[in-house]
Amino acid sequence: MRDTAVQTHPSLALHRPRWSRARLRRHAVPWLFVLPILLINLLVVLGPAVAAVYYSMTDWSGIGAADFVGLANYQELFFEDPSFLSAFVHNVVWLAMFLTVPIAMGLIAASLLAPIRRGALFFRLALFIPYVLPSVVVAHLWSSLIHPDRGVVGWLNERGVPGTDIALLGRESTVLPTIAFIDNWRWWGFLMVLFLAGMQNIPPDLFEAARLDGANRWQEFRDVTLPGIRPVLVFMILMTSIWSFLTFDFIWIITQGGPAGASEVLSILVFKNAFQNFEAGYAAAIGITMSLFVGVVISIFVVLRRRGWEI
């Protein structure tokens, strides 16, 4: 037994380094390929995120040294600043509008275009083109079109059409829905293309089986189409919820949050505090709060997925 142990021990010693090299190659080499991306993410994402958390607890103008004030910015934000609550309400209203109107329009248009084969590409391109136009162009184009003194609305106003003499972007009650309409004109075509792609991946046999069972067009849409595109639909609801809290471009280009803060959302509030009021620490606190809201939305979808939802 002793001789056998002596004879097998050198062979094990010879094989052990080779096995270690193979294991090292299998586990270490993939990480070496991923390492550059990880470093970039640490530099570009994690670094600024940690810095934002720190500066949110400071009194900082954006230039020079920052004075640590603890949770004073958050206390002012939640208990003393009425503009924060107003901007948050506007974000919720914006979210409600974009979770209903453009998604419904995209679903309806996709379901109408799905059976079309002749000229389908033309219709898809025509409805998708607004999405690729720059925000600045779209914002200024629609601002001119709906102005009561020029554009289409101005032309109708000159001819005495009732209701066309209202400055929709100048009234507190209409400014936010009007900007949402402009943004939606650009956005819903993108949703339509995604929903249409999902509908075309549904097996035709399911529609044939539904027709044989006597299903009408609405029942086909409800029982076959919607379950078939559920992953795409839920993902776009998630992304729309996130983007609604981050919306900035159209509101800033058209009204900059006016009139009298009627279209001011959280991102506009961050920009004004950071670059106009030079309260970068307070702006960082608002930004962190926005991230928490987005995190809550993502957490809801994660919980639903773990409970068995097909999303």
- Which sequence spans correspond to the domains of the chain? 2-46, 76-306
Of the pLDDT bands very low, low, confident and very high (cuts 50, 70, 90), residue 2 is very low
pLDDT of residue 311: 63
**Does residue 12 carry a pLDDT above 90?**
no
Residue predicted with more confidence, 143 or 308: 143
Report the share of the chain in percent with pLDDT over 70. 93
pLDDT of residue 68: 95
pLDDT, tens digit, for every residue of 97-137? 999 999 999 999 999 888 887 877 888 888 899 999 999 99
**Does residue 230 carry a pLDDT above 80?**
yes
Instruction: Write out the two tokens for 41.
Output: 């993410």
**Does residue 60 carry a pLDDT above 60?**
yes
Q: What is the pTM of this model?
A: 0.84
Angle between helices 82-98 and 101-113 in degrees, nearest 10: 20
Mean of the pLDDT values across residues 263-284?
Answer: 95
Q: Is 217 exposed, middle or buried (0-12, 13-18, 19+ CB in 10 A)?
A: exposed
* DSSP for residue 116: -
pLDDT of residue 281: 95
State the residue for tokens 């209409």.
174
Per the CB < 8 A criterion, the answer to whether 148 and 160 are in contact is no
Angle between helices 280-306 and 72-79 in degrees, nearest 10: 80
Average pLDDT of the chain, as a whole number: 87
Superfamily of domain 76-306: MetI-like (1.10.3720.10)
State the residue for tokens 């606190």.
285
Pick from 56-60, 154-158, 253-257, 288-292: least confident: 154-158
pLDDT of residue 59: 95
Pick from 151-155, 170-174, 223-227, 278-282: least confident: 151-155
Question: For the chain, how long is the longest CA-to-CA vector?
Answer: 111
pLDDT of residue 264: 95
Phi then psi for residue 90, to 5 deg, are: -65, -35
- What 236-241 contacts at long range (C-beta under 8 Å, 24+ apart), as own/partner pairs, is 236/103, 236/191, 236/194, 236/195, 237/99, 237/103, 238/297, 238/298, 238/301, 238/311, 240/95, 240/98, 240/99, 240/102, 240/103, 241/95, 241/99, 241/297
Residue predicted with more confidence, 86 or 33: 86
pLDDT, tens digit, for every residue of 133-174? 999 999 999 999 998 888 888 888 888 888 788 889 999 999
Of the pLDDT bands very low, low, confident and very high (cuts 50, 70, 90), residue 249 is very high
